[in-house]
Amino acid sequence: MKKIELIFGGLLVPLDYCMLVLAAISAYFLRFQKPLTGLQPVLYTVPFETFLKMVGLVAVFWLVIFALASLYHIRGTRRLVEEFKKIFLACATGVLLIVIIFFFQRDFFSSRFIILAAFGFALVYVTIARFIVIYIERFLFKKGIGVHNVVLIGDAHTNNVIANELGQKKSLGLKVKLKFLNFDHKAQKAIEAYLSKTTLDELIQTNPNMDKEESLRLYEFCDERHIVYKYAAALFDTQSVNISVQPIAGVPIIEVKPTPLDGWGKIVKRCFDIFGSLILLILSSPFMLLTAILIFFDSGRPIFYYRNEDQKKTARIGQYGRPFFYFKFRSMVPNQHYKRYKELAAQNTRKDSPLVKIENDPRITRVGKIIRRFSFDELPEFFLVFKGTMSLVGPRPHLPEEVARYKRHHKRVLNMKPGVTGLAQISGRSDLDFEDEVRLDTFYMENWSLWLDIVILIKTPFILFKRRKAL
């Protein structure tokens, strides 16, 4: 444990306490401002001194809830989104319990407004304070302060991928010092020699198929030297996230579910899609109108791309491999779809995947380049979400001829409805290798939650306006 981690870990408790007290004080004085007193006169209130003493005790109670919500982990590699999620849940739990205790005791605490306002202020103040701490930590990590030294043992390709990722994202606070293919005598001696000069904080086993005896030796080696041991999960480990166990004749029978989107999960996601698509249709309607006008004056009709040159309706492959009618704003010259498989086939930059991607595609119109850059051509997909053939978040819908070239493991993503955006889209858009896209979509499918959908939707517009290629 590094000293700087202890400093930041210890700093969070008094910092949160101060923010909670400040939130309560802000709510208290807000109650006496003229707009509020005009709407609801203050008939009785707790004296400020009494209120402050009460807040001091309640803030301690909230810190306990924060601790139970895992907000005081010492290690500083905190993620902003996860941190906010924990803060929100902890604050909501705290205010709920306070409401239960005080809500009907008007003689003890008369202002329900102060309780609810304190919740809002606490959420804002604690979040701001935490984000400042996180940015300071990341700044120090980039300067090499508090960084964990890491050794990688296992698959050469995975070693290089992890090392490159950690090298690019210095804010993670991890720095690769050594890499080995196997945990043999030579590797052990090299690690011990390094330990005699400085410290190693973490060891990551990157080969999920490493021999069990070798893995056990590796774990014991780390345990004896107080090195954090981590390992890359095997393929079956990642596919076993969602399981249910049913004993039959005394034997535990395990059902592996491809996604948590079962039962209530499916209902929750559908309700979210309906309300979310309605809101987004309203918000995006001015952009859709502008896009339609630009297309008309640039290249005429049709405004929408909904038929191919053979006059067949355009289709994409949806959930369970079922085709559905698909349309979007036209961004190419009409009746040029099949050129991608004929005249332009030699320009395909993704020949190693089922998808076809034409670099500097000559079929794209002037306006098409602009609307594809910001994905405005896909705004009509919100209608398909409302209809139920697509979802706001999920794997991207692909063409029937592309899905026909899927390998077996690619077809796992067809267990979900295709989405307007997804984990793969916010992770690299069209720059991603197809296998990486499938891997990310599979991870999303196996680890779905409503919160994950919200996070992806929030991140999408920021990704769109970065200087990247169109989808």
Do 175 and 278 lie in one domain? The reply is no
Do 336 and 408 lie in one domain? The reply is yes
Do 152 and 121 lie in one domain? The reply is no
Q: What is the pLDDT of residue 264?
A: 65
CA distance 71 to 133: 13
Do 328 and 214 lie in one domain? The reply is no
Do 213 and 281 lie in one domain? The reply is no
Q: What is the pLDDT of residue 249?
A: 38
Is the pLDDT confidence value at 293 over 80?
yes
Residue showing tokens 């005081």: 72
Look at the chain and count its residues: 471
Quick one: what percent of the chain has pLDDT higher than 90?
27
Is the pLDDT confidence value at 467 over 90?
no
Counting other chains too, the contacts that 127-131 makes at CB distance below 8 Å and 24 or more residues apart are 127/83, 127/84, 127/87, 129/15, 129/16, 129/19, 130/12, 130/78, 130/83, 130/84, 130/87, 131/80, 131/83
| Total count of domains within the chain | 3
Is the pLDDT confidence value at 236 over 50?
no
Q: Is residue 183 part of a domain?
A: yes
Q: What is the pLDDT of residue 33?
A: 58
* Per-residue model confidence as pLDDT tens digits over 34-87: 555 555 555 456 677 888 888 888 888 888 888 877 787 755 556 677 788 888
Q: Which residues are paired to 421 by β-bridges?
A: 393
Q: What is the pLDDT of residue 42?
A: 52
How crowded is residue 14: how many other Cβ atoms within 10 Å of its Cβ?
10
Is the pLDDT confidence value at 323 over 90?
yes
Do 78 and 210 lie in one domain? The reply is no
- Per-residue pLDDT band for 361 (boundaries 50, 70, 90) equals confident
**Residue 41 Cα distances to 31, 111, 403, angstroms:** 10, 11, 65
- Higher per-residue confidence, 24 vs 101: 24
Do 314 and 451 lie in one domain? The reply is yes
Do 152 and 137 lie in one domain? The reply is no
Q: What is the pLDDT of residue 8?
A: 77
* Per-residue model confidence as pLDDT tens digits over 10-39: 788 899 999 999 998 998 888 665 555 555
- Higher per-residue confidence, 449 vs 343: 449
Q: What is the pLDDT of residue 1?
A: 57
Do 286 and 400 lie in one domain? The reply is yes
Do 190 and 293 lie in one domain? The reply is no
Is the pLDDT confidence value at 109 over 50?
no
Maximum mean pLDDT: which of 346-350, 368-372, 383-387: 383-387
Task: Note down the domain range covering 225.
Answer: 148-232
- What mean pLDDT, rounded, does the chain reach? 81
Contacts of residue 210, Cβ cutoff 8 Å, sequence gap at least 6 = 154, 183, 218
Q: Which residues are paired to 392 by β-bridges?
A: none
142, 177, 211: which is the final residue of a domain? 142
- Per-residue pLDDT band for 6 (boundaries 50, 70, 90) equals confident
Is the pLDDT confidence value at 260 over 50?
yes
Q: Is residue 138 part of a domain?
A: yes
Q: What is the pLDDT of residue 277?
A: 94
Helix/strand/coil (H/E/C) assignment for every residue in the chain: CCHHHHHHHHHHHHHHHHHHHHHHHHHHHHCCCHHHHHHCCCCCCCCHHHHHHHHHHHHHHHHHHHHHCCCCCCCCCCCHHHHHHHHHHHHHHHHHHHHHHHCCCCCCCCCHHHHHHHHHHHHHHHHHHHHHHHHHHHHHHHCCCCCEEEEEECCHHHHHHHHHHHHHCHHHCEEEEEEECCCCHHHHHHHHHHHHHCCCCEEEECCCCCCHHHHHHHHHHHHHCCCEEEECCCHHHHHCCEEEEEEECCEEEEEEECCCCCCHHHHHHHHHHHHHHHHHHHHHHHHHHHHHHHHHHHHCCCCEECECCCCCECEEECHHHCEEECCEECCECCCCHHHHHCCCHHHECCCCCCCCCECCCCCECHHHHHHHHCCHHHCCHHHHHHHCCCEEECCCCECHHHHCCCCHHHHHHHHCCCEEECHHHHHCHHHCCHHHHHHHHHHHHHCCCHHHHHHHHHHHHHHHCCCCCCC
pTM over 0.85: no
Is the pLDDT confidence value at 441 over 80?
yes
CB 421 within 8 A of CB 397: no
Q: What is the pLDDT of residue 417?
A: 94
Do 317 and 459 lie in one domain? The reply is yes
- Per-residue pLDDT band for 251 (boundaries 50, 70, 90) equals very low
Residue from 80, 201, 62, 65 nearest 133 by CA:
80
